[in-house]
């Protein structure tokens, strides 16, 4: 498996994966806007044999990092792709001296919650009606350490 920065040429594939994986998928235009307008955005893909197996987005805002999206192609689920991406996220947090890593996750998404817990993120609060379908989200946070 190879991890690399996402490019604009990946966006068609990523948009298709988003639709397959999420109730409220990001569009190609959403990702395009991140590339064009968000100086804090970092988007990466995981490749297996030249095929995109997964992807993630991470905002690094000074000493804070937030996972904006993370997904693994159904074909590659349960093959440690998400774990490899989480390890890359942790590395990026440490390299950028982030104090905290956070994300929101649907309260119904137990597999994702279990992955995040495995990597040391804890549920710290509930975001009521976070999603447009009114499902709540858990805010999960991990202290990364900041300056060493």
CA angle 22/115/98 to nearest 5° reads 95
Burial class from Cβ neighbours inside 10 Å (0-12, 13-18, 19+) for residue 123 reads middle
Residues annotated catalytic, as ranges: 104, 116
Rg (CA), the chain: 15
């Amino acid at each position: 498996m190879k991890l690399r920065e996402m490019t604009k040429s990946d966006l068609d594939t990523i948009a298709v994966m988003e639709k397959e994986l999420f109730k409220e998928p990001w569009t190609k235009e959403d990702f395009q806007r991140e590339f064009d307008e968000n100086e804090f955005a970092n988007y990466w893909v995981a490749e297996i044999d030249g095929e995109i197996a997964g992807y993630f987005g991470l905002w690094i805002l000074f000493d804070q990092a937030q996972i904006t999206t993370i997904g693994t192609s159904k074909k590659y689920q349960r093959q440690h792709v998400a774990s490899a991406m989480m390890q890359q996220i942790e590395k990026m947090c440490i390299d950028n001296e982030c104090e905290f890593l956070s994300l929101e996750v649907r309260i119904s998404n137990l597999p994702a919650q279990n992955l995040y817990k495995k990597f040391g993120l804890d549920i710290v609060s509930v975001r009521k009606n976070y999603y447009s379908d009114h499902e709540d989200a858990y805010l999960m946070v991990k202290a990364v350490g900041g300056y060493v």
